[in-house]
Structure 1
């Protein structure tokens, strides 16, 4: 039986590096590429564009996620088993919840390497996942 390795992706170089690392280090396991849609609190565009709704925004984000998942999948070796998923919510909480409820054995996550004030203001998804994950986490920096 193969293990499930969760790889959150967002289209960034860091996420791409994490997916490549996971496919190299866990070639016999199933990789789950997870894209998280961050719900928008203020749909101000709705006011600017009559007829634009939250459903439109969610649909646009889902299409973006499908594109990112497809692009990431195409870069991985064909022999690697890959499943793609899209969830909505706070990224760190969604990744942790997915790991808890889907028999994930390992998380491989990219790190953008934010430091200083950017890290303080924005937080770090990878740091939160490391601290709260129920399974081992490998953090991968983007290859340059």
Structure 2
């Protein structure tokens, strides 16, 4: 049975490194690059005043287009290396969406980048990688 590996990506160098790592360490696996569109960003961009519904939809569409472009870029970069990946995007809280996707799609492993936060910034800002690692019932590899 072929294994499946989930690689959450964003536009960071760390997520690019995680994708490279997954391709090297799991060459026979089906690798899915996942981008999570965080809906909290929609509201942050609209403000409280004005036509929130109209702005919300426009902002949501912009984030979804960015997700598609980022996933196409990742797929193209992998294709240049002679490999293929599947790509998906979902909307939701980032850490929860990653874990839920992995569970719902019977993923065997998650490989993700770490932003390298430490000390007070990690405590204050939280860490998606840390949250995924704590909540995931499947193995998680953090690439630094």
TM-score by length of structure 1 reads: 0.88
Residue correspondence of structure 1 range 42-121 to structure 2 within 5 A: 42-44=44-46, 47=49, 52-77=54-79, 79-121=82-124
5+ residue gaps, structure 2: none
Q: Secondary structure at the match of 1:75?
A: helix
| Inter-partner Cα distance in structure 2 for 1:48 and 1:114 | 36
Moved over 6 A (4+): 48-51
| Inter-partner Cα distance in structure 2 for 1:43 and 1:9 | 22
Q: Secondary structure at the match of 2:85?
A: strand
Match of 1:7 in 2: 7
Structure with the larger helix share: 2
**C-alpha RMSD of the superposition:** 2.0
TM-score by length of structure 2 reads: 0.88
| Inter-partner Cα distance in structure 2 for 1:94 and 1:60 | 20
Alignment: residue pair count? 141
**Structure 1 residues 74 and 134, CA gap change in structure 2 (3 angstroms):** same
5+ residue gaps, structure 1: none
Give the superposition deviation at 1:51.
Answer: 8.5
